[in-house]
Amino acid sequence: MAEKIGFIGLGVMGNGMARNLLKAGFDVTVWTRDAAKAETFKGLGASTAATPKALAAACKLVISCVPDAAAVHGIALGEDGLAAEGWKGGLLVDCSTIAPFEAQEIATSLKEAGADFLDAPISGGKKGADEGTLTIMIGGEEAVVARAQPAFAAMGKNIHHVGPQGAGQALKACNQLMVAVNLMGVCEAVAIARAAGIDPKVMREVVSTGTGRSGVLEGHGLRYLEGTLQGGFRAALMKKDLGIATAVGAHYGRYQPAAGLAHQLMTGLCNAGHADLDNAALGLLYDKLNGWQGDAS
């Protein structure tokens, strides 16, 4: 019989993930402070719990997908948290993006309460969450990963157990680092193209058939050049993720000048008032520093 699943964090990503668990036939209990969301999920067949502590009493496997490490910490170890009265045999699968060492600390505390932990950050955006095609990067023990496998299979398509506790978060940091570094290259190439009298959309199309191609040139490049910067993955979250990537590098004493530069530029973009735009809005900062006053393209 499939394990009962608790779910915390019915946001942009979690909403689709919890729905896919219900669709796959899991007995799902949600905890949310939002009464309207609770009603919606009741209507879909979910149960609700009053606190994470109550959720832990009802379910031995809980999935969380929340904005930051403080939120994960509160859910797991807070006064009304999952482990508030111990949680023998429990398992928290955390799909949030936090630092590897933060994941490891929470894992250690949960272990003392009798519970396991997996870091399992996700990639693929709202579309991937809604369609159940997420990439999931998992750090933790083999047997614990096996326990959560049915739940992963309901939410994602590319499911990778990449190493020990924290490794999932480290791999997510690698992805985010490359996104942000590649984005600097796109912004600088657009500036050169414009200066030289080349339509940057043509530049994007030509290079997309060449060695300079990237997911960022395709996606971010298009959103930057078309000015479609509302919604999407917010610059504030990319800044947070680059903070994690550079902290991981610093923790291990690694040399990472490009990641550091990307972190600084994304910080500047947020400080300049664009924290809530798609992170492709880094192009706007470059435009400013290049004196670009033209139209979107």
We find the least distance from the C-beta atom of residue 270 to a second copy, in angstroms, to be 17
Which of 284, 263, 264, 262 is closest to 273 using CA atoms?
284
Q: How far apart are the first and last CA of the chain?
A: 55
Rg (CA), the chain: 21
> Phi first, then psi: what are they for 65, rounded to 5°?
-150, 85
Going by C-alpha positions, the residue among 183, 176, 15, 13 that lies closest to residue 100 is 176
Considering only residues 183 through 222, tell me which ones interact with a second copy, judged by CB under 8 A.
184-186, 188-189, 191-193, 195-199, 202-203, 206-207, 209-217, 219
When asked if residue 117 is in the footprint of a second copy (CB under 8 A), the reply is no
Nearer residue to a second copy within complex by CB, 9 or 100: 100
Of 57 and 184, which CB lies nearer to a second copy in the complex structure? 184
**CB count in 10 Å sphere of residue 111:** 13
- Residue 94 backbone class (left: φ over 0; alpha: ψ -120 to 50; beta: rest): beta
Question: Distance between CA 114 and CA 97 in Å, rounded?
Answer: 24
Based on the shown chain and the rule CB under 8 A, indicate whether residue 72 belongs to the binding site for a second copy. Answer: no
Shortest distance (Å) from residue 203 CB to a second copy: 5
172 annotated active-site: yes
- Contacting residue, 42, 111, 127, 254, with a second copy by CB under 8 A: 254
Total site size for a second copy, rule CB under 8 A = 70
Shortest gap between Cβ of 193 and a second copy (angstroms)?
6
- Can you read off the two tokens belonging to residue 179? 């996104």
**Residues lying near a second copy in the complex (CB under 8 A):** 100, 123-124, 135, 137, 158, 160, 162-164, 166-167, 170-171, 173-182, 184-186, 188-189, 191-193, 195-199, 202-203, 206-207, 209-217, 219, 245, 248-249, 251-259, 261-262, 265, 286, 289-291
Catalytic residues: 172
